[in-house]
């Protein structure tokens, strides 16, 4: 593998590493959203009120508790799906990174052994 291919491989590795960081950040946000939805559903289950309030921006709107529960369950379902998708993306990126890292390490070890062989040959020539 020549230097250009190695450089391209390193750039691809860095790109995937950045993508993994983005996926992890998104995963944290979605996890937080899921926790908030779960907490809202839990509180909604405790209340005996027929009408609850929904926050939209800086305004509270009255909403039927049953409708709100359905809305929250739908949001939980879509958030769960988003979290699973992010987990799969994370898994794929980790596999790519591990494969690329192994190739780069093998490449570097091969280059080091070639360098060692070359320097050993030079030393032999100097001795003669």
Q: How many domains does the chain have?
A: 1
At 95 the pLDDT is 96
Q: Is the pLDDT of residue 4 over 70?
A: yes
For 65-95, the pLDDT digits (tens) are 999 999 999 999 999 999 999 999 999 999 9
- Which residues span the domain enclosing 94? 3-111
At 86 the pLDDT is 97
Strands (E), the chain: 51-56, 59-64
At 97 the pLDDT is 95
Q: Classify residue 52: in a domain, yes or no.
A: yes
At 108 the pLDDT is 79
Q: How many helices (H) and strands (E) does the chain have?
A: 2, 2
Q: Classify residue 36: in a domain, yes or no.
A: yes
Instruction: From residue 110, give the alpha-carbon distance in Å to each of 104, 106, 118, 121.
Output: 10, 6, 12, 16
Find the mean pLDDT for residues 41-45: 95
* Cβ atoms within 10 Å, residue 93: 19
Q: Classify residue 20: in a domain, yes or no.
A: yes
At 106 the pLDDT is 87
Instruction: From residue 73, give the alpha-carbon distance in Å to each of 28, 57, 90.
Output: 20, 21, 25
Q: Classify residue 128: in a domain, yes or no.
A: no
CATH value at residue 84: 1.10.287.370
Q: Classify residue 121: in a domain, yes or no.
A: no
Q: Classify residue 70: in a domain, yes or no.
A: yes
Q: What angle do CA 19, 23, 26 make, to 5 degrees?
A: 140
- pTM, two decimals, is 0.76
Give percent above pLDDT 90 in the chain. Answer: 72
Average model confidence (pLDDT) across the chain: 89
Q: Classify residue 116: in a domain, yes or no.
A: no
Q: Classify residue 26: in a domain, yes or no.
A: yes
The residues, any chain, with a CB within 8 Å of residue 11's CB and separated by 6 or more, are none
């Amino acid at each position: 593998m020549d230097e250009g291919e190695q450089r391209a491989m390193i750039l691809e590795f860095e790109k995937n590493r950045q993508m993994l960081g983005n996926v992890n950040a998104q995963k944290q946000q979605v996890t937080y959203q899921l926790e908030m939805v779960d907490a809202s559903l839990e509180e909604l289950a405790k209340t005996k009120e027929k009408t609850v309030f929904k926050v939209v921006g800086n305004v509270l709107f009255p909403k039927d508790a049953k409708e709100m529960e359905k809305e929250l369950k739908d949001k939980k379902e879509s958030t769960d799906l988003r979290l699973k998708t992010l987990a799969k993306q994370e898994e794929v990126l980790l596999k790519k990174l591990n494969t690329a890292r192994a190739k780069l390490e093998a490449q570097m070890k091969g280059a080091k052994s070639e360098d060692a062989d070359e320097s050993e040959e030079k030393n032999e020539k100097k001795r003669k």
